[in-house]
């Protein structure tokens, strides 16, 4: 049985329903990919890199989780988000509040003392407990993103107007956090952590454990996002991207679907923020601002917004290029980085993943195809079946 996908760009496009064997093969392929990636990241990389470089890669892998969420909402859902740094920052602040209280013990955090507070604010109290702080750092941004998305999408705001709203949100939230010096640390943010779950952060074994946790979370979120794109919900999401009005006329709650996927991407950003803070040691309103949010979009554009793995690789590649160029050319590295972005967007509109896919298609189109026992004249028909995805 086959199901026509509403809003498909190609007439006759169909999606297999109930193709158990093909889906099982796809799952096996993804599990194999994740297993190989996990082996490289968890076994090979720690033995090849210094503690400093491993910490850098761990931070970039946290960014890769954000990129996966952006690819989900932008590449598959067609919603360009220019304020994802807000949800990344909310998750980071949630984790930072717990770590700051753990490091301070029974004393007030230093920035609260400097601001004249004599007792801990009531909304900080629950963050003394990891069982509260960690789920809130992940679920909180997801709920916030869902509620914001539902209000916006219910009023049929889409396209560039949605992008502008998310960008304005980044400006508002970052400015608000700067102004709340006694509660957020102001411009300096929250820093000076010493422990996490009783372990000293400066110890190499603690940082390696954090790196391993980041790898596991990255691969788990990848599998979840991949499963989501292959589910009925994922097909509906692509249909919304291609022809939202047609999907709405078929009776689907468009606002709810878009809000759900936006909330999922925001929860992934919050998870990335929670993993980022203990590896870097600081979170400030600058991380919630417009520029980091635009950089996140660039990661996905460079890697390929139509590919979850490509978006993750793009985040790591851009981060490594930024680190290398700033070390080798400290005075002019921003010009090199800007040129790199321009070249990637202009010459590789599909990103690295899209370019590889096009190269593969080009190669396959030029390889001779002949099924066993078939005459050469049957090749065009067989090729036509392959090209239509059937």
Q: What share of the chain is helix, strand, coil (3-state, %, to 5)?
A: 75, 5, 20
d(CA 97, CA 59) in angstroms, rounded, equals: 19
What the block records as the tokens of 259 is 């809000």
What the block records as the tokens of 115 is 């601001």
For residue 245, give every residue at least 6 positions away whose Cβ sits within 8 Å of its Cβ, in sequence order, or none. Answer: none
Residues 199 and 298 reside in one and the same domain: yes
Q: Is residue 320 within 8 Å of residue 303, measured between CB atoms?
A: no
Q: Please provide the size of the chain in residues.
A: 390
Please calculate the CA angle 212-103-197 and round it to the nearest 5 degrees. Answer: 35
Residues 272 and 345 reside in one and the same domain: yes
Residues 318 and 386 reside in one and the same domain: no
Residues 106 and 220 reside in one and the same domain: yes
Predicted confidence pLDDT, tens digits, the chain (390 residues)? 344 444 444 333 434 444 568 888 888 989 999 999 999 999 999 999 888 899 999 999 999 999 999 999 999 999 999 999 999 999 999 999 999 999 887 788 889 988 888 889 999 999 999 999 999 999 999 999 999 999 999 999 988 999 999 999 999 999 999 999 999 999 999 998 888 888 888 888 999 999 999 999 999 999 999 999 999 999 999 999 988 889 889 889 999 999 999 999 999 999 999 999 999 989 999 999 898 999 999 899 989 888 999 999 999 999 998 888 888 887 787 787 778 778 777 877 788 888 888 787 788 888 876 554 455 444 443 333 333 333
Q: Is residue 67 within 8 Å of residue 296, measured between CB atoms?
A: yes
Look up tokens 């809003």; give the residue: 7
Q: For residue 319, which of 58, 74, 105 has the smallest C-alpha distance?
A: 58
Asked if residue 122 belongs to a domain, the reply is yes
Could you give the angle at which helices 51-70 and 204-230 cross, rounded to 10 degrees?
A: 20
The model's pLDDT over 103-125, given as tens digits with 9 standing for 90+, comes to 887 788 889 988 888 889 999 99
Q: Is residue 63 within 8 Å of residue 299, measured between CB atoms?
A: yes
Residues 27 and 99 reside in one and the same domain: no
Neighbours of 341 (CB within 10 A): 16
Residues 65 and 42 reside in one and the same domain: no
Look up tokens 């789920």; give the residue: 135
d(CA 67, CA 349) in angstroms, rounded, equals: 17
User: Can you give the pTM of this predicted structure?
Assistant: 0.86
Asked if residue 5 belongs to a domain, the reply is no
Residue 4 backbone phi and psi in degrees, to 5:
-70, 140
Asked if residue 9 belongs to a domain, the reply is no
Strand-pairing partners, residue 195, are: 200
- Number of structural domains (the chain) is 3
For residue 354, give every residue at least 6 positions away whose Cβ sits within 8 Å of its Cβ, in sequence order, or none. Answer: 304, 306, 307, 310, 348
Neighbours of 390 (CB within 10 A): 10
Look up tokens 């909330």; give the residue: 263
Residues 236 and 103 reside in one and the same domain: yes
Asked if residue 205 belongs to a domain, the reply is yes
Asked if residue 6 belongs to a domain, the reply is no
The residue segments making up the domain with residue 140 are 51-349
Asked if residue 2 belongs to a domain, the reply is no
Residues 121 and 247 reside in one and the same domain: yes
Asked if residue 57 belongs to a domain, the reply is yes
Using only the alpha carbons of the chain, give its radius of gyration.
Answer: 23
Residues 139 and 275 reside in one and the same domain: yes
Residues 387 and 238 reside in one and the same domain: no
Residues 215 and 264 reside in one and the same domain: yes
What Cα–Cα distance (Å) separates residue 62 from each residue in 59, 266, 378, 388?
Answer: 5, 14, 50, 37
Asked if residue 4 belongs to a domain, the reply is no
Backbone dihedral region for residue 198 (phi beyond 0: left; psi -120 to 50: alpha; all else: beta): left
Residues 254 and 380 reside in one and the same domain: no
């Amino acid at each position: 049985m086959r199901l026509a996908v509403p809003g498909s760009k190609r007439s006759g496009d169909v999606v297999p329903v109930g193709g158990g064997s093909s889906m099982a093969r796809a799952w096996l392929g993804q599990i194999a990919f994740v297993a190989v990636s996990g082996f490289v990241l968890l076994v090979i990389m720690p033995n090849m890199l210094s503690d400093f470089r491993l910490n850098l890669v761990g931070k970039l892998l946290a960014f890769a989780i954000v990129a996966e969420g952006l690819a989900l909402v932008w590449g598959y859902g067609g919603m360009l988000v220019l304020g994802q740094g807000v949800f990344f920052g909310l998750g980071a602040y949630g984790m930072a509040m717990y770590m700051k209280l753990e490091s301070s013990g029974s004393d007030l955090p230093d920035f609260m003392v400097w601001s004249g507070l004599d007792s801990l604010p009531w909304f900080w109290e629950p963050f003394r407990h990891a069982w509260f702080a960690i789920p809130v750092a992940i679920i909180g941004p997801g709920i916030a993103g869902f509620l914001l998305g539902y209000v916006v999408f219910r009023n049929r705001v889409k396209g560039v107007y949605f992008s502008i709203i998310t960008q304005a949100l980044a400006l508002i939230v970052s400015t608000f956090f700067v102004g709340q010096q006694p509660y957020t640390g102001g411009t300096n943010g929250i820093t000076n952590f010493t422990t996490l779950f009783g372990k000293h952060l400066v110890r190499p074994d603690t940082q390696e454990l954090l790196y391993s946790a980041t790898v596991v979370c990255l691969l788990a979120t990848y599998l979840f996002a991949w499963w989501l794109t292959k589910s009925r919900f994922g097909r509906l999401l692509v249909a919304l991207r291609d022809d939202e009005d047609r999907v709405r006329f078929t009776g689907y709650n468009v606002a709810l679907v878009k809000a759900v996927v936006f909330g999922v991407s925001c929860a992934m950003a919050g998870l990335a923020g929670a993993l980022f803070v203990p590896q870097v040691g600081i979170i400030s309103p600058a991380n919630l601002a417009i520029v980091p949010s635009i950089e996140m979009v660039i990661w996905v554009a460079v890697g390929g917004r139509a590919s979850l793995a490509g978006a993750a690789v793009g985040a790591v590649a851009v981060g490594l290029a930024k680190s290398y160029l700033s070390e080798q050319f400290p005075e002019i590295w921003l010009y090199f980085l800007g040129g790199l972005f321009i070249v990637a967007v202009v010459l590789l509109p599909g990103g690295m993943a899209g370019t590889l896919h096009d190269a593969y298609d080009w190669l396959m189109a030029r390889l001779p195809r002949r099924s066993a026992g078939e005459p050469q004249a049957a090749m065009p028909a067989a090729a036509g079946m392959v090209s239509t995805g059937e």
